[in-house]
Structure 1
Amino acid sequence: MITMLMAGGLGVAVVMVSFGAGVVVALKQSRKLSAPLIYLAAAAEQVGSGQTRPQMEKSGIEEIDLVYEELVRTADRMAGRISAERQFSADASHQLRSPLAALSMRLEEIEYLSNDEDVREEAANCLEQVERLAGVVNDLLAVSRSENAGGNEAVPLGPVFEQQREEWQRSYETVGRELTFEDNAGVAVLSRPGSLSQIIATLIENSLRYGEGTTSVVASKSGRGVMIHVTDGGPGVAPENVDSIFTKGFSTGGSTGIGLPLAKNLAEADGGRLELSKASPPTFALALNAVPQSLNPSKILPAGSIISVGARRRRR
């Protein structure tokens, strides 16, 4: 009996020792695996924060090292694409500045010399759009030189909507359509003035070209931001084109296919987003950060930050 008890006790002791040894080995192995995984996560974070060459020593674990090597190759490809896009933006901006300046001077000459009131008004409206486009070109050039867009201001929507109404009202009346604006947000948004005007103008022009019925531009509060919806009564976007309308060069009506992709990039550069929220009837949604009503922008922001984006003063 005593022999059996001793054998049982010995067996229990062996099991306990084996269990303890297993725990020690498991902990050691887990530390060996967890450290490289932590470093790998840090390397992924470096790529996400914009560093094109993550720093990490090889762990000696084949699977983890393979993931790291692929992460490095991905970072290299991203760096190449970002560099190419910034170079294209800079080159395009430089190439556009001279023609825009020449066009602006020609429109001013027409505005001054023409005796036809309608011609003078149309020349003034065209000149406003050329000046806004020149501002967008300057913004693109600035973005291409810096990783951060910056330069956002507190922009009230009322004057922006009024400017767009003056620019597009006659074009809509000519084709027997109506253009309406409604600011239910009542707060300023954080954006670059030229970018905001260009985005809304692109959506209005897109609706004029492809849409039907009344085009409505409505701003409303959405959490801490503002949503601007642009919609009309047209048939909308075909299902097969929904995923392509923001692709550079894509067009179903013979246009350049640059307007919507540029508008989307401008929105993202200002910390917002532009998307097709509904295909039929077509509804584009522009989301921007808002300045809280509880803040007094004249005290919080530098002098001159609250701007009025109104129609250009007509010179006679």
Structure 2
Amino acid sequence: MRRRLIQSTLAVVLVVIAVFGVSLVIVETRTISNSAQERVDSEALRLASIVDSRILGDENITAETFKNQVTDQRYAVIRIPGRPPIEVGAKPTGDVIHYTADGEEGETVTVQEPRSSVTREVGRTLLIIGAVALLAIVAAVLLAVRQANRLASPLTDLAETAERLGSGDPRPRHKRYGVPELDRVADVLDSSAERIARMLTAERRLAADASHQLRTPLTALSMRLEEITLTDDPDTVKEEATIALTQVERLTDVVERLLTNARDPRTGSAVSFDLDEVIKQQLEEWRPAYRGEGRAIVSSGKRHLRAVGTPGAVAQVLAALIENSLMHGGGTVALRTRVTGNQAVVEVTDEGPGVPTDLGARIFERTISGRNSTGIGLAVARDLAEADGGRLEMLQAQPPVFGLFLSRTPMKRPPMTEEDERTVR
């Protein structure tokens, strides 16, 4: 592209120089020739007037008289009737410029000048015009190179940015070039990069959340299926199959919830539900895992509480807390329910060492973990709690106490803005 820009600019300059240069040469050549002719004419008329004045004054007219009147490189012939011709200067050879002036007393004065003097003057003029044209060409090349670099370099950068976007690197460059059209393209690419970055972040977050949230239900389901394969009692098989179907339904709810949060985290299906049912479901689901570790899981506190939220989401939050206690805690895990103001609170605690001091304030951040785990369980649990207007907090670090706060009265969800609708779409 640089070469094409330079060639096109240089071609335009050469055409302009050719058109105007040739016209200027023709005009200057004619001007110089006409000027030389006018000088010869003026010289002949001047000498004729001098001869007239001397004839009328009856003065002597000789070649010496006009020696200083004729400039160098010119030749003059004065013819007076009845007298021999008077020649002044050296007679030129070759092509000449001449003019003959007639005097009032019948005399004639002829002045000649070599055309070579005009040729030399035309040559000097052509040299000047050529030098100016050469300077114009050099300036045009430099300007073309500068313009080509100014236009080609940004286009190269924009092409690299587009290639990076296509290869999965959505970092915006925020680089501008001082050319409105190119800056507009850069703005669009940066906006696209930011949108792609948000989309990739959302997809990675969904994948991480899905892998974490589905792991527990799938593990519990596999345990139920193993129980079925190890027994021949039809009643036991039926009971375990019923529990497995319940876990499949919960697994489906987890998937739907994840997809819903991926589209719009504020879009929930909050209803008033019996908190005891959700807690009971979690106890039944996690008791086999705790028995396998030689530990117990119990519940206590106020009964028959109703809370507002999505039962599946609340179950996922409690499952995350219970699993966290299983992996990082110790002793018996207790789920306690209580009421504070207009909120129902579910506290999950165990007898383990608790949360390290250096992790206390950051325990709900993604990738923060006290051991070799994913570090996203508590972060996902907090997002699920907040989606329906609740909140998840760490009430105590040692021994660990986590509290899930749920409203007891339905809340009014704010209407979606146009930007939110575009995001969902």
Q: CA deviation at 1:206?
A: 1.2
Q: CA deviation at 1:253?
A: 2.5
Paired letter, 1:251:
S
Q: Which residue of 1 aligns with 2:360?
A: 242
Paired letter, 1:284:
F
Q: CA deviation at 1:96?
A: 9.6
Q: Which residue of 1 aligns with 2:304?
A: 186
The secondary structure found in structure 2 opposite 1:266 is helix
- Partner Cα separation in structure 2 for residue 102 and residue 168 of structure 1: 13
Q: Which residue of 1 aligns with 2:285?
A: 167
The secondary structure found in structure 2 opposite 1:242 is helix
1:219 aligns with 2:334: no
- Partner Cα separation in structure 2 for residue 108 and residue 194 of structure 1: 20
- Partner Cα separation in structure 1 for residue 205 and residue 271 of structure 2: 23
- Partner Cα separation in structure 2 for residue 98 and residue 169 of structure 1: 18
- Partner Cα separation in structure 2 for residue 161 and residue 97 of structure 1: 18
Change (3 A) 1:155 1:114: same
The secondary structure found in structure 2 opposite 1:213 is coil
Give a deviation string over 1:86-107, Cα, whole Å, max 9, x none.
4445566899999999999988
Q: CA deviation at 1:242?
A: 1.0
- Partner Cα separation in structure 2 for residue 252 and residue 154 of structure 1: 35
Identify the match of residue 228 of structure 1 among 343, 346, 358.
346
Identify the match of residue 201 of structure 1 among 319, 332, 335.
319
Tell me, yes or no, if the aligned pair for 1:110 and 1:123 is still in contact at 8 Å.
no
Change (3 A) 1:89 1:180: same
- Partner Cα separation in structure 2 for residue 278 and residue 255 of structure 1: 21
Tell me, yes or no, if the aligned pair for 1:111 and 1:120 is still in contact at 8 Å.
no
1:289 aligns with 2:419: no
- Partner Cα separation in structure 1 for residue 217 and residue 294 of structure 2: 33
Identify the match of residue 275 of structure 1 among 382, 388, 393.
393
- Partner Cα separation in structure 2 for residue 148 and residue 161 of structure 1: 24
Paired letter, 2:404:
L
CA RMSD of aligned residues (A): 4.1
The secondary structure found in structure 2 opposite 1:150 is coil
What's the TM-score, normalizing by structure 2?
Answer: 0.43
Paired letter, 2:369:
S
- Partner Cα separation in structure 1 for residue 246 and residue 257 of structure 2: 17
- Partner Cα separation in structure 2 for residue 111 and residue 258 of structure 1: 30
Amino-acid identity (%): 36
Change (3 A) 1:281 1:119: farther
Tell me, yes or no, if the aligned pair for 1:246 and 1:264 is still in contact at 8 Å.
yes
Tell me, yes or no, if the aligned pair for 1:211 and 1:232 is still in contact at 8 Å.
yes
Give a deviation string over 1:279-306, Cα, whole Å, max 9, x none.
00100011111149xxxxxxxxxxxxxx
1:154 aligns with 2:272: yes
Tell me, yes or no, if the aligned pair for 2:225 and 2:244 is still in contact at 8 Å.
no
Instruction: Report the more deviating stretch, 116-125 or 215-224.
Output: 116-125
- Partner Cα separation in structure 2 for residue 114 and residue 240 of structure 1: 45
Identify the match of residue 294 of structure 2 among 146, 156, 176.
176
- Partner Cα separation in structure 2 for residue 263 and residue 197 of structure 1: 10
Give runs of aligned pairs for residues 1-316 of structure 1, distance below 5 A: 85-89=201-205, 115=231, 128-129=246-247, 131-146=249-264, 148-184=266-302, 186-291=304-409
The secondary structure found in structure 2 opposite 1:271 is coil
**Bigger CA radius of gyration:** 2
- Partner Cα separation in structure 1 for residue 210 and residue 362 of structure 2: 28
- The total of aligned residue pairs comes to 218
- Partner Cα separation in structure 2 for residue 290 and residue 270 of structure 1: 12
- Partner Cα separation in structure 2 for residue 257 and residue 129 of structure 1: 24
- Partner Cα separation in structure 2 for residue 99 and residue 239 of structure 1: 28
Q: CA deviation at 1:266?
A: 0.6
Change (3 A) 1:198 1:184: same
Which one scores higher on RCO, CA 8 angstroms, separation ≥ 6?
A: 1
Paired letter, 2:389:
G
Paired letter, 1:135:
D
Give a deviation string over 1:170-218, Cα, whole Å, max 9, x none.
3223333221112416321111111111111111111122222221101
- Partner Cα separation in structure 2 for residue 195 and residue 140 of structure 1: 10
Paired letter, 1:246:
F
- Partner Cα separation in structure 2 for residue 184 and residue 92 of structure 1: 35
